[in-house]
Amino acid sequence: MYDVIVIGGGASGMMAAGRAAALGKKVLLLEKNKHLGEKLKISGGGRCNITNAELDQRAFLPAYGTAEPFLYSTFSQFGVADTFSFFESQKLPLVVEARKRAFPHTQNASDVLAALEAYMKQGGVTVSRGAAVTRVEATEGHIEAVYCGAKVFSAQAYVCATGSLSHPETGSTGDGFHWLAKLGHTIHKPTPTIVPLSVHDAWSKLLSGTSLSFMKITFYVDGEKQFSKTGKLLFTHFGLSGPLILNSAKKVADLLHRGVVTATIDAYPHTDLGSLEKNIISVFDANKNKVLKNVVKECVPLGTHRGVLLLLGEELAAKKIHLVTKEERKKIVRLLKALPLTIDGLMGFDRAVVADGGVPLEEVDMKTMRSRKIDNLFITGDLLHINRPSGGYSLQLCWTTGFVAGSHA
């Protein structure tokens, strides 16, 4: 008999197990994969954006939108500063990069996993890998046992940390949502929220792999302007990604219900049309006898010339610079301020960083992470219905909810 059984060895489950064990509990962690923390290892492109270094809780928590008021009591027990101290205590200091994103100083997500595994080992957590929980047995608002096939495990308290639905190949296949629904919880339908966009425009495909900082994207529904955002953009073989896109996706999802969604990219948001034209004129003056397609590289952001040439058309691209008319030059300038795209949709769960949906916070005592439906169940991490931007906010939720669940389980 264990004191605590944690189901799911992702970020929040490992934190919960380690914390409960540090408080002297006999803990079993059940993980269905052969390895722990598969999603953690791909987080932040393998660098793992552990948290966001905004130490002022009142400035940090509004990033979670409507969940903010629920989170003060949880974060007062384990906040951003505690995340820094925790990883430091595990000999993995963090470094802070642009937009306050904090990473392990080794820039390697596997070291974050190793730190959590060490934390669990220090407390003597029993880790069972390849142990998929197939059934949760409960009577009258109380879990009696969990089953891994024919094997039965019991404990006084259970932490459900099975994650949501993004990147299901990492093990997050939504199992917890099924049990929680059966146990009486409401489950808001998960949808991919921090997710790349799919576009089919041929010019953008030519830019696959190109990453551009300080781009401004503006979205339209049926030609009517909706909203703009500036940031870093990544062209991929399926469309658009990067923080600018990931953090626009939720709003774009709403727009897609209303009509045809198009977008324009301003490649020089800090330069007005007149100044941009002047820059191009000076490039043209220095290259009068060259063909436009051989000069265009000097007029556009690095890595984009092939896409821009496709948009300009073969005839114009083949013209000698001194034959380019004023109107054609203005067309180039206008294009660089509004590269056109049609948004086909959001990519699916397989490419989503985060899916929203899950258990509404009203059904969880956020001081303890205890379910309000089941008296010996604690719920953590991506299972909770909390919207958040990219930039370390998801993992911070895992550290906080995992720690608090482990403290009270």
Ligand X SMILES: Cc1cc2nc3c(=O)[nH]c(=O)nc-3n(C[C@H](O)[C@H](O)[C@H](O)COP(=O)(O)OP(=O)(O)OC[C@H]3O[C@@H](n4cnc5c(N)ncnc54)[C@H](O)[C@@H]3O)c2cc1C
Contacts with ligand X, residue ranges (CB under 6 A):
7-13, 30-33, 38-40, 42-44, 48-49, 132-133, 161-163, 166-167, 171-172, 175, 353-354, 381-382, 392-395, 398
For the CB of residue 301, give the shortest distance to ligand X in the complex, in Å: 25
* Least gap, CB of 201 to ligand X (angstroms): 24
Interstrand relation of 27-30 and 2-7 (parallel, antiparallel or unpaired): parallel
Angle subtended at Cα 176 by Cα 170 and Cα 178, rounded to the nearest 5 degrees: 120
Q: Which of 43, 15, 6 is closest to 131 using CA atoms?
A: 6
Exposed e or buried b per residue across 85-119, where buried means at least 16 C-beta atoms within 10 angstroms of its C-beta = ebbeebebebeeeebebbbbeeebbebbbbbbbeb
- Quote the least distance from Cβ 212 to ligand X, whole Å: 20
Nearer to ligand X, 114 or 317 (CB): 114
Give the residue with the Cβ less far from ligand X, 207 or 353.
Answer: 353
Q: For the beta carbon of residue 63, count every other beta carbon within 10 angstroms.
A: 18
Give the DSSP H or E segment for 235.
strand 224-235
Q: Nearer to ligand X by C-beta: 132 or 310? A: 132
Picking from 375, 298, 372, 367, the residue whose alpha carbon sits closest to that of residue 336 is 298
The minimum distance between CB 65 and ligand X, in angstroms, equals: 16
Residue 174 or 301: the one with the smaller Cβ distance to ligand X is 174
Characterize the bridge pairing of strands 261-266 and 339-346: antiparallel
Shortest distance, CB of residue 258 to ligand X, whole angstroms? Answer: 28
- Residue 350's CB is within 10 A of a number of other CB atoms, namely 12
Q: Cβ 353 to ligand X, closest distance in Å?
A: 4
The least CB distance from residue 380 to ligand X, in Å, is 6
* DSSP structural state of residue 228: E
Give 43 or 74: the residue with its C-beta nearer to ligand X.
Answer: 43
> Computed over its alpha carbons, how large is the radius of gyration of the chain?
25
- For ligand X, which is the closer residue by CB, 96 or 310? 96
* Residue with Cβ nearer ligand X (124 or 149): 149
C-beta of 16 vs 311, nearer to ligand X:
16
DSSP secondary structure letters along 200-220: --HHHHTTTT-EEEEEEEEEE
Nearest distance, CB of residue 403 and ligand X, angstroms: 12
- Backbone φ and ψ for 399, nearest 5 degrees, come out as -60, -45
8 A C-beta contact, residue 4 and residue 17: yes
Give Cβ neighbours of residue 333 (< 8 Å, ≥ 6 apart). 273, 276, 277, 280
CB under 8 Å to 33, separation ≥6 — which residues? 9, 129, 130, 170, 171
Pick the closer one to ligand X by CB: 87 or 219.
87
Q: To which H or E segment does residue 248 belong?
A: none
Cβ at position 44, least distance to ligand X in Å: 3
N-term to C-term CA, the chain: 15
> 3-class DSSP state for residue 368?
coil
The least CB distance from residue 25 to ligand X, in Å, is 19
With respect to ligand X, which residue has the nearer C-beta, 174 or 307? Answer: 174
Residue 230 CA to residue 217 CA, distance in Å, equals 6
